[in-house]
């Protein structure tokens, strides 16, 4: 909620009751609940996507053939754009309509950072230490778990992927990591 309110102040616009209510619903026992999904209004998505594109309300209004006040009303959830205008905005912001509706600046920024980061920089990062700040078990498990048997089994799986599909060492690791992530997601669902 604090972030949404800060975004609203930064963007110099009114927060609508629905946007604040949506953020407030994510608050649990006085603390932000960050493990769940926070619903953000369509207006907030439109505003964030426009700002990410570096366009002013005036510029968007001119390109869409509407007034700046209309853009403001869409971004504050006073009114909604019709489907044609929504499609035109998505194209203007270089997003699909689905991306515009579900615009998540954090996810987009992470994806862009991944693409921009060179292998040389990636190799310098101690990923265990970096992720250990969020997941302390990564820093503590070496004291209690013998990784050798798991490492041997994973090495066998990597070799099987390389032999069966002709993958490089890196590609085999990425495929195995993706398979493990999908298994984990399925187990979380129940």
Q: Residue 40: what pLDDT?
A: 62
From CA 88, how far away is CA 85, in angstroms rounded? Answer: 5
Start-to-end CA distance of the chain, whole Å, equals 30
Q: Residue 14: what pLDDT?
A: 38
Q: What whole-number percentage of the chain has pLDDT above 70?
A: 77
pTM beyond 0.75: no
pLDDT-based confidence at residue 36 (cuts at 50, 70, 90): very low
**Fold designation for 2-108:** 434 Repressor (Amino-terminal Domain) (1.10.260)
Give 62-110 pLDDT, tens digit per residue.
999 999 999 999 999 899 999 999 999 999 999 999 888 886 667 777 7
Structural domain boundaries in the chain = 2-108, 119-189
Burial category of 14 from C-beta neighbours within 10 Å (exposed 0-12, middle 13-18, buried 19 and up) = middle
């Amino acid at each position: 909620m604090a972030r949404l309110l800060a975004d609203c102040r930064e963007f110099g616009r009114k927060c609508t009751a629905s946007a604040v209510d949506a953020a407030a619903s994510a608050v649990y026992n006085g603390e932000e609940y960050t493990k769940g999904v926070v619903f953000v209004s369509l207006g907030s998505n439109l505003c964030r996507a426009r700002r990410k594109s570096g366009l002013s309300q005036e510029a968007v209004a001119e390109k869409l053939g509407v007034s700046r006040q209309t853009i403001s009303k869409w971004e504050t959830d006073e009114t909604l754009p019709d489907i044609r205008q929504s499609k035109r905005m998505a194209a203007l912001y270089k997003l699909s309509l689905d991306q515009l509706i579900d615009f998540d600046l954090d996810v987009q920024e992470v994806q862009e950072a991944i693409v921009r980061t060179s292998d040389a920089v990636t190799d310098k990062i101690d990923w265990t230490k970096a992720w250990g700040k969020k997941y302390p078990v990564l820093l503590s498990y070496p004291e209690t778990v013998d990784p050798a048997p798991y490492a041997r089994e994973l090495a066998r799986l990597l070799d099987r992927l390389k032999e069966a599909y002709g993958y490089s060492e890196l590609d085999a690791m990425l495929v195995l990591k993706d398979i493990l992530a999908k298994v984990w997601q399925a187990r979380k669902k129940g």
